[in-house]
Structure 1
Amino acid sequence: MTANGGKHGGGGGVKSDERLFAIAEHLRESGGAGVTELANHTGLAKSTVHDHLSTMRDHGFVVKDGTTYRLGLEFFAYGQSVRTRHDVYEAAAPIVDDLVESTGEMAWLLTHENGRVMYLYGGAGETEVNTNALIGSWAYMHCNSGGKAILAHLPDSAVESVVDRHGLPARTPNTITDPDELAEELAAVREQGYALNLGEDLEGIHAVAVPLLFEEEVKGALAIAGPAHRVSEERCETELADKLRASTNDIELNLAYR
């Protein structure tokens, strides 16, 4: 991304917006940076970077600590607003807490947008995973149990669009990377009612998920995950899948009477 060119970039976006997002993205990834670092990373002039930072600071989207700029809490306020806009969040959050308590494993609420899934809410159970670091993060759909549970209930054209946009990158040796194999997997998910992730995203981590369907719409997915030695394939297909299916009934009721 460079500072040269006309009003619109190659993707049709407004150049000044592209520059601002490039700055925000680097601040998110780095945890904070100065004007020189941001200019070197983005290819923008220091004066341009400074102008964008000043505007973002005026609106609360960045804060300045000495010579270092960091993302501001205004982003959090926007994120909270976006999350609560999803009615499935209010309906499922207490159910996720119940699953964490009853299983001792990680439980997650995920939803999809633009061909990926995001962790909207979750709990760590007996694991040492920092769930706060995962909430709000994106994952590929083809190697995520929640993603596959959602994909299985989308039209074929939507699945093809996801594959065209994001591909089927191999996260581990167990990741499905062939479209025909993915289609077979999604057909099995529809038949059995749950999706598995047996070390397909992270080696040594297993997960099982069910779709959250309401009024013929895929609202998201509910998943339980944990280390493979505790969350075995057999446990996923029996105890944990049963708990997830029972939990979806409560979530559907919450959605119906919200």
Structure 2
Amino acid sequence: MSERGKGTSHTERVFRVQQAFIELGGGAQRLSAIAQAADLDDSTVSRILTSGTYKKTFVRAGRGLYQLGTGAGDLGLYALSDDNLSGDESREVLQSLRLQTDGGLVFLYLKAPFGGAGRQCYDMAVGDSDLIELGMTPRDVLFVSRSLRTGASGRTILAYMSESIQKRVAHGPTPDEAGPGVFKDGDEFLASLADIREQGYALGRQECMANWNSIAAPVIWDDTIHGAVLLLKPAHVMPEAPQHYINATVKAAAQLSQLGGGWPTHE
């Protein structure tokens, strides 16, 4: 330990405590572990946690155990609101990607603000397509694709999260409804995450659903992963991902990253 948080503002100490839960992999954590991860003394962390329970930022999960509450999720939703990412701006980027990929189905997934390591569909550009006629149900979009254990967008988001969360998800169950291309082996799954970080995108072959292939790229704000842009095309139309489709998807993700103050566009 260094200075155990001396000289820092109260706001910074609160942020440290919130960040500690992320570094520890989420879930219920002991006060001592939170204090160590936040580089603060136990008494300071105890006061922050106690105060935060009244605002539901933290929840007392048991004797000496705390976890993030729905209030922390509300902060995440605010950070992803139109104040930071205009719905019109993001939709324009998604629509442009759809045109550049000859009518592909385009989705913007963001990390779920609560409920563990998951994702949720924030916006989409599907034109006049009837998702049900295309073999996709609302359950596919909202539930099967919520897991980070399957799908190009799930793996892309997970690739930029902490190693502890990656391992927990990798060795967890896959959704029963996942497609035939889902990674069954946990170690192979983890290796794919390293590949995503190296190349800056993911390719999915019938992972979430049968007969659909995909390309995904990360949306990163302030050096933190917030989501992924996903392009879906029928497997018989896109058996292999053309390079110009990959480039267009990566560019769209970079544009959304810039809107949120993230890293620069890939060249």
Give the TM interval when normalised to the shorter protein. 0.5 to 0.7
Q: CA deviation at 1:84?
A: 5.9
The CA deviation string for residues 116-170 of structure 1, in whole angstroms up to 9 with x for no partner, is 2211111224744258947971322222111111111111111123346x52346
Structure with the bigger percentage of helix? 1
Which residue does 2:174 correspond to in 1? 168
Q: CA deviation at 1:203?
A: 1.1
Structure 2 counterpart SS, 1:201: coil
CA distance in 2, matches of 1:239, 1:92: 21
Is the contact made by 2:151 and 2:182 (CA closer than 8 Å) also made in structure 1? no
What letter matches 2:214 in structure 1? Answer: A
Higher Rg of the two aligned structures: 1
Q: TM-score, normalised by structure 2?
A: 0.57
- After superposition, the Cα gap between the structure-2 partners of 1:153 and 1:246, relative to the gap in structure 1 and judged at 3 Å, is same
What is the distance in 1 between the residues matched to 2:170 and 2:216? 20
Report which stretch shifted further, 104-113 or 114-123. Answer: 114-123
Cα distance change on mapping 1:94 and 1:234 into 2, 3 Å:
closer
Question: Are 2:195 and 1:184 aligned?
Answer: no
Question: Secondary structure, in 3 states, of the residue corresponding to 1:250?
Answer: helix
Task: Please report the RMSD computed on the Cα atoms of aligned residues, expressed in angstroms.
Answer: 3.1
> Size of the alignment, in residue pairs?
176
Quote the Cα distance in structure 1 between the aligned partners of 2:241 and 2:81.
Answer: 36
Residue of structure 2 in register with 1:100 after alignment: 98
Q: In the TM superposition, what is the alpha-carbon distance from 1:234 to its structure 2 partner?
A: 3.2
Partners in 2 of 1:112 and 1:200 — Cα distance? Answer: 19
What is residue 206 of structure 1 aligned with on the other side? 213
Tell me the secondary structure at the aligned position of residue 210 of structure 1: strand
Change (3 A) 1:157 1:207: same
Q: Summarize the alignment of residues 36-185 of structure 1 with structure 2, pairs less than 5 Å apart.
A: 85=81, 87-88=84-85, 90=87, 92-103=90-101, 104-113=103-112, 114-125=116-127, 127-129=129-131, 133=138, 137-138=142-143, 139=145, 140-163=147-170, 166-169=172-175, 171-185=178-192
Aligned to 1:250: 255
* Farther off after superposition, 210-219 or 136-145: 136-145
Question: Shift of residue 172 of structure 1?
Answer: 3.0
CA distance in 1, matches of 2:141, 2:195: 29
Q: Determine the structure 2 residue equivalent to 1:41.
A: none
CA distance in 1, matches of 2:86, 2:215: 19
Cα distance between partner residues in 2 of 1:159 and 1:151: 6
Aligned amino acid, residue 108 of structure 1: F
CA distance in 2, matches of 1:99, 1:134: 24
Q: Identical aligned pairs, as a percentage? A: 19
Residue type of the alignment partner of 2:250: R
**Matches of 1:253 and 1:217, distance apart in 2:** 13
User: Tell me, what secondary structure is at the counterpart of 1:110?
Assistant: strand
Residue 253 of structure 1 and its aligned partner are, at CA, apart by 2.8
Q: Does 1:241 align with 2:250?
A: no
Q: Distance in 1 between matches of 2:137 and 2:183?
A: 28
Amino acid at match of 1:144: G
User: CA–CA distance in 2 between the matches of 1:82 and 1:144?
Assistant: 26
What are the superposed Cα offsets for residues 158-214 of structure 1, whole Å, 9 maximum, x if unpaired? 1123346x5234623321122101111111111121111101121110010001112
State the partner residue of 1:26.
none
Extract unaligned runs of 5+ from structure 1.
Answer: 1-77
Query: Quick check: 2:180–2:209 contact (8 Å CA) kept in 1?
Result: no
Structure 1 length as normaliser, TM-score?
0.59
Q: Distance in 2 between matches of 1:82 and 1:231?
A: 37
Aligned to 1:70: none
> 2:241 aligns to what SS in structure 1?
helix
**1:129 alignment partner AA:** L
After superposition, what is the alpha-carbon deviation per residue over 1:39-77, rounded to whole angstroms, capped at 9, x for unaligned? Answer: xxxxxxxxxxxxxxxxxxxxxxxxxxxxxxxxxxxxxxx
